[in-house]
Structure 1
Amino acid sequence: MDNDSYFGRPAAGMPSVASTAAATPRPGTPSDSAGRNPFSDGVESQASHRSSGHGNNGNPFASPSASRPASSFDSASALGRFDGGQRYFHSRRVRKGEVEKPWTKSVDPKEKWVTILPIIGIVIGLAISGFLVWDGIRSVVKHKYCPVLEETWSNGINDNVWQKEVQVNGFGNGEFEQTTGGDSNVFIENGNLVIKATPQDDALMQKDYKIDLLKDGTCTSTEPTSCIAYTNITAGNASIVPPVLSGRIHTRKGASIKYGRIEVTAKLPVGDWLWPAIWMMPVDSVYGAWPQSGEIDIMESRGNNYTYPQGGNNIMSSALHWGPNPANDAWWRTNVKRQALHTTYAAGFNTYGLEWSQKYLFTYVNSRLLQVLYVNFDSPMWQRGNFPPQDSNGTRLEDNWGKTGRKQTPFDQEFYLILNLAVGGTNGWFEDNVNGKPWLDASPNARKDFWQAKDRWLPTWTQPQLEVSKVMMWKQCDGDEDN
């Protein structure tokens, strides 16, 4: 094939298609001697059809006008022309009547099940969900409760019910706060109880200084280590007095329950290394020292933000502490966390609840249906703990709970309520080397290291307080509370 025939030019001696089209001019068609539209279908103007070949101004991709029926040149609509001379695309490949119109066809009766079956599935799913919710509510044993305490702080802090604890030793957890008995750290503001953490006077860290709560008679403990603290600069000792002041308040004197319900409505703090808690301890340690007589943690959290790996104030947890000694505390078997949904527990007030009976114990947030920890007393606690026969030092571990014949022991005694805001600690609540923690639990300099990092953590204390708007306590009074 030569070049002329390849590009659509007629071979020598053959008339061009364009010349043939020029032989049948259409009167009134405007001239188009200027450049042509390279994407035209060949129906542009009479001049384009008079072209004697494509030449410099011809469209090499145009359809020859000779391939169009003559009648198509006699109608403006055939050219796609309407008012204003506007042209519209007109396909030559799909002829009239060849386009499929599936919507005009009859529908297969089976196709309706494509819609019906998902609807049936949704209805069945909703029905099952509704039944499970109903069955869950129905299965919870309903007891008769009698009020023990309704505290709204309208008359301030009732000394007949509440007692502020004043100590310096960190309550066995190595906490860094000194709890005070005045109105600086535990007070009523805007109708709410406020437990607030504040930095200690820096001057007390820079000189030899002694805090002696036994001497001034304010200490609520009889143990000297719980009442006396030192800063010892002269001897080069790393010890310092507690670097933070805070508060702890409880109902041991005025309100306790054995089986019943508790609800505490509170807003949690914001600030690194703050440790708020709502929890319970036994009035009398009937089965021995902690944790033999048990501990109930309704709510514990951290003031760190949501980026803290162990969970900041977007996470709360509930736990039971129980075991023959601290080394065999089985809290990890009864510990559950709950995350706030698209918010934090420091953004507003939430109600933290406990329901406790001879058969079960569970905690919840805002609703009994939003349970956190659930423990069913269907087997003895000693058996559930799977404790070893002897301690690491060879001491035999005795089951002091089995003597009662009750499966829920040690959670079968009177417990009282505690509200507090701790700071730091050396018991592992804040894991070493995580998120810039400025101290190590095993270090004798833990308090001092924490204090020397205050330029990092103190700016985060934008809301360094636990606020409590209401406390409700009920006891089970339907005649079987002694079982």
Structure 2
Amino acid sequence: MQAVQPQAELEPATHAPSAIERVVTSSQHNLSGTPRPSTPYGARSRVSTPISRSASRTATRSVSGSATASTTGAYLPSGERYFKSRRVEKGSIERAWMDKKDPKEKWVTIIPLLGIVVGLAISGLLIWDGLRTVVNHEYCEVLSENFTTWNSHIWSKEVELGGYGNGQFEQTTDSDENVYIDDGVLIIKPTLQDENLVNNDNVIDLRGHGCTGGRWSDCLASTNTTNGTIVNPVKSGRINTKLGASIKFGRVEVTAKLPAGDWLWPAIWMLPTNNKYGGWPKSGEIDIMESRGNNYTYGQGGNNIVSSSLHFGPNSFNDGWWRNIVKRQALHTTYADGWHTYGVEWSEKYIFTYIDTRLLQVMYTHFDQPFWEYGQFPLSDSNGTQLVNPWSSTGSNASPFDQDFHVVLNVAVGGTNGWFKDGKSGKPWLDSSPTAKRDFWEARDQWYPTWQKQGFMQVKKVVMLQQKGYNGC
């Protein structure tokens, strides 16, 4: 019987534990709470990632059932074990999926491409349909005003005190103090009233002095130091083309720079020339642009915001303007900082306003239903009086905007109709106060300095175009 040679004892430096033994040893050592000594500089790194208890138990069972173990490591002099990680070299692993492609893989490319093609087709169809429905009307030129001189055959200066029932504080004059031309630019400039007329008992009577208002209150005002009422505390200008330029359907463009000054109210608008359906607002009003002279900090928006709307209704207490008023804010600037063109395009089927380009629309109203329905008016007034449709006999959805309108340019000041809301940004009067004008006047040290730099509206061009097929065009 051959003697069995005793197996030589492996030196610690040459014995290599299996990978599983290293995991178990590392895990048990970690779970025991005994800290591992740090790896000396230059030595190969040991396993430092903690292993869960379940992983440790699984690894231990695997070791106990294993017959063989790889010898890829060695003992450190301290008895601890380490392993050397090996990075898989590029190209050493076969990539069978590169030899035979999945037939479904092509859809990863086809589906996005189909989506792009379909999206472009739909966009093209929408653009085509939009262009197809745009009506490019032909026009006759009615007015092209560059304000080289004052044309009294076209323009009229209004002289009155009433302010169209808005409770405005200005007296409009025909004086060159308030409306004049300076180097090809029309200037409409508010100025202070004569202090003697405001501070002492006085009467302003414009009857016989060219008053253009239709009511006695448009031509008479007084100061009564006893009850606190005063004459209009400021003067300003309002002009119109009623005398020489009106259109029924067409286009109007006004190039202007708006004023900067507290409680100023610039406007570019249109009124019916003959009031075919009755007094305001039965015959309508087209507001191309309205704004406020206050700066951007004002609660309702100052000269950084303009608005457009239509006024229409059976009486002044039932006005449908709220159905289509739209605001447009200037981008990183104000409308007092530069020139802008404020326009309206108006036909028998629609009306819209815009700024600088027809593509930048502000207010758009399509005449797809009668204005009586569009206005959503009640059956009766607040006092129980039945409301009557003033446009019922026309059979036109465009009524009352199917008659001649002319252009109005003005700078109003203040007012008691709510355009400047009570309590916003230090407003110095209350609309309901019987002394609203005096309260405004007494606060002039606050607001008048804000007018000094640019408290006036500038207009350098007005164009009126008549749509062909109407008014002899």
Q: Same fold (TM over 0.5)?
A: yes
Q: Is the 8 A contact 1:144 1:478 kept in 2?
A: no
* 2:129 equivalent in structure 1: 135
Change in Cα spacing, 1:424 to 1:120, as seen in structure 2 (3 Å) is farther
Query: Which letter does structure 2 place at the counterpart of 1:146?
Result: C
Count of matched residue positions in the alignment of Structure 1 and Structure 2: 394
Separation in structure 2 between the aligned mates of residue 457 and residue 251 of structure 1, nearest angstrom: 31
Separation in structure 1 between the aligned mates of residue 390 and residue 360 of structure 2, nearest angstrom: 34
* 1:220 equivalent in structure 2: 212
* 1:26 equivalent in structure 2: none
Q: Name which of 157, 160, 164 aligns with 1:167.
A: 160
Q: Is 2:138 aligned against 1:144?
A: yes
Identity %: 58
Q: Is 2:223 aligned against 1:231?
A: yes
* 2:40 equivalent in structure 1: 63
Shift of 1:390: 1.6
Q: Name which of 392, 412, 421 aligns with 1:402.
A: 392
* 2:419 equivalent in structure 1: 429
* 1:193 equivalent in structure 2: 186
Separation in structure 1 between the aligned mates of residue 113 and residue 296 of structure 2, nearest angstrom: 39
* 1:319 equivalent in structure 2: 309
Q: Name which of 159, 163, 171 aligns with 1:178.
A: 171
Q: Name which of 425, 434, 438 aligns with 2:428.
A: 438
Q: Name which of 428, 438, 447 aligns with 1:448.
A: 438
Q: Is 2:271 aligned against 1:257?
A: no
Separation in structure 1 between the aligned mates of residue 288 and residue 108 of structure 2, nearest angstrom: 49
Q: Is the 8 A contact 2:190 2:237 kept in 1?
A: yes
Q: Name which of 335, 353, 357 aligns with 2:347.
A: 357
* 1:206 equivalent in structure 2: 199
Q: Is 2:148 aligned against 1:158?
A: no
Query: Which letter does structure 1 place at the counterpart of 2:220?
Result: I
Q: Is the 8 A contact 1:276 1:300 kept in 2?
A: yes
Question: SS in structure 1 opposite 2:164?
Answer: coil
Gaps of 5+ in 1: 1-59, 69-91
TM-score by length of 2: 0.76
1:413-463 per-residue CA deviation (whole Å, 9 max, x = no partner) reads: 111110000010011111111121111111111111111111222222231
Change in Cα spacing, 1:347 to 1:97, as seen in structure 2 (3 Å) is same
Separation in structure 1 between the aligned mates of residue 441 and residue 83 of structure 2, nearest angstrom: 84
Q: Is the 8 A contact 2:258 2:335 kept in 1?
A: yes
Shift of 1:378: 1.2
Gaps of 5+ in 2: 1-36, 46-81
Question: SS in structure 1 opposite 2:447?
Answer: helix
Query: Which letter does structure 1 place at the counterpart of 2:138?
Result: K
Question: SS in structure 2 opposite 1:204?
Answer: helix
Q: Name which of 458, 464, 470 aligns with 1:473.
A: 464
* 1:341 equivalent in structure 2: 331
Separation in structure 1 between the aligned mates of residue 263 and residue 374 of structure 2, nearest angstrom: 33
Separation in structure 2 between the aligned mates of residue 114 and residue 349 of structure 1, nearest angstrom: 53
Question: SS in structure 1 opposite 2:231?
Answer: coil
Query: Which letter does structure 1 place at the counterpart of 2:198?
Result: M
Q: Is the 8 A contact 1:268 1:276 kept in 2?
A: yes
Change in Cα spacing, 1:67 to 1:416, as seen in structure 2 (3 Å) is closer
Superposition CA RMSD, Å: 3.0
Separation in structure 2 between the aligned mates of residue 93 and residue 470 of structure 1, nearest angstrom: 88
Q: Is the 8 A contact 1:278 1:299 kept in 2?
A: yes
Q: Is the 8 A contact 1:143 1:478 kept in 2?
A: no
Change in Cα spacing, 1:115 to 1:410, as seen in structure 2 (3 Å) is same
Separation in structure 2 between the aligned mates of residue 115 and residue 161 of structure 1, nearest angstrom: 67
Question: SS in structure 2 opposite 1:438?
Answer: coil
Separation in structure 1 between the aligned mates of residue 44 and residue 388 of structure 2, nearest angstrom: 107
Separation in structure 1 between the aligned mates of residue 240 and residue 219 of structure 2, nearest angstrom: 18
Q: Is the 8 A contact 1:168 1:228 kept in 2?
A: yes
Separation in structure 2 between the aligned mates of residue 181 and residue 330 of structure 1, nearest angstrom: 33
Change in Cα spacing, 1:357 to 1:99, as seen in structure 2 (3 Å) is same
Separation in structure 1 between the aligned mates of residue 232 and residue 210 of structure 2, nearest angstrom: 16
Change in Cα spacing, 1:350 to 1:221, as seen in structure 2 (3 Å) is same
Question: SS in structure 1 opposite 2:141?
Answer: strand
Question: SS in structure 2 opposite 1:388?
Answer: coil
* 2:24 equivalent in structure 1: none
Question: SS in structure 1 opposite 2:129?
Answer: helix
1:74-130 per-residue CA deviation (whole Å, 9 max, x = no partner) reads: xxxxxxxxxxxxxxxxxx9996746989xxx99999999999988987787676556
Change in Cα spacing, 1:97 to 1:426, as seen in structure 2 (3 Å) is same
Shift of 1:361: 1.0
Q: Name which of 289, 307, 321 aligns with 1:299.
A: 289
Change in Cα spacing, 1:348 to 1:124, as seen in structure 2 (3 Å) is farther
1:299-343 per-residue CA deviation (whole Å, 9 max, x = no partner) reads: 111111222232211111111111111111111012111112222
1:147-189 per-residue CA deviation (whole Å, 9 max, x = no partner) reads: 10010112x1200000000112222100011111011111111
Separation in structure 1 between the aligned mates of residue 235 and residue 83 of structure 2, nearest angstrom: 87
Query: Which letter does structure 1 place at the counterpart of 2:40?
Result: S
Q: Is 2:381 aligned against 1:380?
A: no
Query: Which letter does structure 2 place at the counterpart of 1:357?
Result: S
Separation in structure 2 between the aligned mates of residue 145 and residue 254 of structure 1, nearest angstrom: 18
Separation in structure 1 between the aligned mates of residue 302 and residue 114 of structure 2, nearest angstrom: 43
Change in Cα spacing, 1:65 to 1:414, as seen in structure 2 (3 Å) is closer
TM-score by length of 1: 0.74
Change in Cα spacing, 1:332 to 1:295, as seen in structure 2 (3 Å) is same
